[in-house]
Amino acid sequence: MSKPRILVTGAAGKSASAVVEQMLERGYPVRAFVRQQDDRSNRLKSLGAEVVVGDVLNPASIRSVMAGVERVYFCYPPLEGLLEATTNVAVAARDAGVEAIVNMTQITARPNATSQLARQHWLAERIFDWADVGASHVKPGYFSDNFYMLNGENIAKEGKIYLPYGEGRHAPVASDDIARVVTAILVDPAPHVGKRHVLTGPRNMTIREMAEVFSKELGKPVEYVDLPIEHWRQALIEKAGLPEFLADHLAHVAKDLQDGVFDAQTDVVERVSGLPAQSLEQFIQANRDRFVSGERRAA
């Protein structure tokens, strides 16, 4: 009996590309939906994925790519357009008879969130539920990968972590662990339909405590420098070149972190995927070159 075809949107991204790889390793046919052809999409094709270029904001594009698909991982970048993309995917999936969708949302998704993106994620969850397409939702906390995305160069060159998180606690989760959970759900979606899985790493800590872990693992002093949120937001726009929409979201994430919204520690990664979540120590060692060289790769 042939295995169901899997559609992965945003397939060139960090967690989505890992899902493509893991599903291919399990022998599933995978259609990788990307926005453009580049080295990342070419790599997925070389692994055996069917790579399709298109746009989830284009209803005709997503309807075409949904043909013949039975299960979907929907992963949209932290940019404008989430609700439109969600609706396009939900409508196309329902019309195509898709049996299961795993939706990437976030721990901050709630109706009273100050972040526009977080409120949109809350609405997106409801759209998929109402579409009756076998939706389940993965709600990661803080991504471990943000450490090298936002501070890899600072850690390498200055031994500093610049963030506005105060004494807020969280248990960072690696994108590879998120991908393992998504893959497990795609393999056997029925037990997860309608559920909202909060994904975290194994240990709740403050950023100051995490800086101590970095110091130990890298063999040099690493210090947390607490920044004012607005100062950091402006730096994200003016120095890092982030879109204002994303910088605003990250600023609201920082306030949520200070206020305890991320203060969670679950065993979902191990319970669903069968393997324990990476500790911060393991993550640092697995990505040691990035914290030593300061290399910043797109997630």
pLDDT per residue as tens digits for the range 99-138: 999 999 999 999 999 999 999 999 999 999 999 999 999 9
In a domain, 246, yes or no: yes
The pLDDT tens digits for 8-63 are 999 999 899 999 999 999 999 999 999 999 999 999 999 999 999 999 999 999 99
Token digits for 75? Answer: 């992963």
Query: pLDDT tens digits, residue range 251-272?
Result: 999 999 999 999 999 999 999 9
Q: What's the whole-number average pLDDT of the chain?
A: 95
pTM for the full predicted model: 0.95
Residue 137 and residue 153 in one domain: no
pLDDT at 295: 61
Give the chain's domain count. 2
Whether 124 and 86 have beta carbons less than 8 Å apart is answered as yes
Pair (193, 208) in one structural domain: no
Q: Is 298 exposed, middle or buried (0-12, 13-18, 19+ CB in 10 A)?
A: exposed
CA proximity to 269, closest of 126, 159, 172: 172
188 lies in the same domain as 84: yes
Give the β-pairing of 135-140 and 100-104.
parallel
- Residues 266 and 198: beta-carbon distance below 8 Å: yes
Backbone φ, ψ for residue 182 (5° rounding): -60, -45
Which pLDDT score, from 0 to 100, does residue 146 have?
93
Q: Hey, what are 155's tokens?
A: 């850690």
> Which CATH number goes with the domain that contains 76?
3.40.50.720
Is residue 190 domain-shared with residue 232, that is, in the same domain?
Answer: no
Judge whether residue 159 has pLDDT over 90.
Answer: yes
* 167 plus 126 within the same structural domain: no
pLDDT score, position 193? 97
- Asked whether residue 216 falls in the same domain as residue 191, the answer is no
Residue with tokens 């899902």: 19
Give the SS3 label for residue 86.
helix
**What pLDDT score does 296 carry?**
55
CATH of the domain at 215: 3.90.25.10
pLDDT confidence of 299, banded at 50, 70, 90?
A: very low
In a domain, 60, yes or no: yes
Say yes or no: 46 and 191 in one domain: yes
User: Do the domain assignments include residue 26?
Assistant: yes
Does 269 map to a domain?
A: no
Report which of 105, 107, 104, 96 is spatially closest to residue 131, judged by C-alpha positions: 96
* 234 and 117 in a common domain: no
**For residue 10, is it within any domain?**
yes
Residue 270 lies in a domain: no
Question: Helix, strand, or coil here: 204?
Answer: coil
pLDDT at 1 over 90: no
- Write out pLDDT tens, residues 236-248: 999 999 999 999 9
Structural domain including 163 reads 146-171+201-263+278-293
Above 70 in pLDDT, residue 89? yes
In a domain, 273, yes or no: no
**What pLDDT is stored for residue 293 in this prediction?**
82
